[in-house]
Amino acid sequence: MRAIVVSATGGPEVLTCTDHPDPEPDPGDVLVDVAAAGVNFIDVYHRMGRYPLALPFVPGEEGAGIVAAVGEDVRDFAVGDAVAWASVPRSYASRIAVPASKLLAVPDGVAPEIAAAVTLQGLTAHYLTHSTYEVKAGDDVLVHAAAGGMGLLLTQIAKLRGARVIGTVSTEEKETLARQAGADEVLRYGSFSEAVRELTGSGVHVVYDGVGAATFDQSIASLRPRGMMALYGQASGPVPPVDPQVLARNGSLFLTRPTLTHHVATRDELTWRASDLYGWVASGQLRVHVSERYPLEEAARAHEDLEARRTTGKVLLIP
């Protein structure tokens, strides 16, 4: 099989495509021929060493494909099944062994590439809107990077729950995408907190911020009293240490730094979120925008484009 390997942390150039022995499924594992692997900012953080992994490693945490073989004790999956996964390492490869406990059945009506594009970010958008802050009809929601893969999903799911969505973007093209996803108002980054106050009067109920350092202070200033700041990523860099008094001065605010792992901790929770997600996709209620598809060998270019914000929607690697 072929796989991308990182032998030393650094820039996109450290992503090297090599030949690897096929993995063998251990008891409880499922061997999958990868149809597509999702590219996410966590892969960039791993490559850079911001979230350290033991070297060498195969990056990637998300994908979809077809079952090629099953290990002992696997009862719920069979050869030929369409499946997907999230938060499973070594996904930048043409074959992967996935624990059955983390594997998801992909229903008819959801193509493998779409499953690869929506699973990790979709599960994240689900827990952010259903658990971190349970979005309700009439809520005002601020979504940063509203034309990115996460932003487009957050916008649509928040709209499904009856919220008014205010999105931030950097270009006119991205504004068009955000509005097509249902954003009611779209702002440039600039002095967005002032614009949010003008639109809402008292501020938004929740900010979904995957940008980090560049937006954090204005995100806090965009919240109404007792609002929720959900910092789920740091695409622009990590946020400096925060004085808790900032939360008091701005209205007894809540600040959380959630991760997917703690929101799919049980099989029941994982399948609940995935069932909602794939159901919305299959019914047409949730549209998945794939920005770019790169051959596996061009993983470095995919990372370059993602980091330079030249992409909108989801980026995939195709083995």
Q: How do residues 211-250 score in pLDDT, each as one tens digit?
A: 999 999 999 999 999 999 999 998 899 999 999 999 999 9
- Enter the tokens of residue 160: 């499904």
* Whole-number average pLDDT of the chain: 96
- CB 27, CB 291: distance < 8 Å: no
pLDDT above 90 (res 80): yes
pLDDT above 90 (res 312): no
pLDDT tens, residue by residue, 265-297: 999 999 999 999 999 999 999 999 998 999 999
- CB 6, CB 269: distance < 8 Å: no
pLDDT tens, residue by residue, 134-158: 999 999 999 999 999 999 999 999 9
pLDDT above 90 (res 126): yes
Q: Report pLDDT for 221.
A: 98
d(CA 251, CA 247): 6
Cis peptide before 56 (omega within 30 of 0): yes
- Enter the tokens of residue 307: 């980091």
Tokens 């993602």 sit on residue = 306
pLDDT above 90 (res 298): yes
Cα 102 to chain centroid distance, Å, stands at 17
Instruction: For residue 175, give Cα distances in angstroms to 186, 228, 309, 314.
Output: 6, 24, 14, 16
pLDDT above 90 (res 20): no
CA end-to-end distance (rounded Å), the chain: 9
- Report pTM: 0.93
d(CA 128, CA 241): 23
- CB 92, CB 16: distance < 8 Å: no
Close Cβ partners of 116 (under 8 Å, ≥ 6 residues apart)? 35, 36, 37, 38, 62, 63, 64, 65, 84, 316
CA dihedral sign of residues 166, 227, 241, 129: negative
pLDDT above 90 (res 313): no
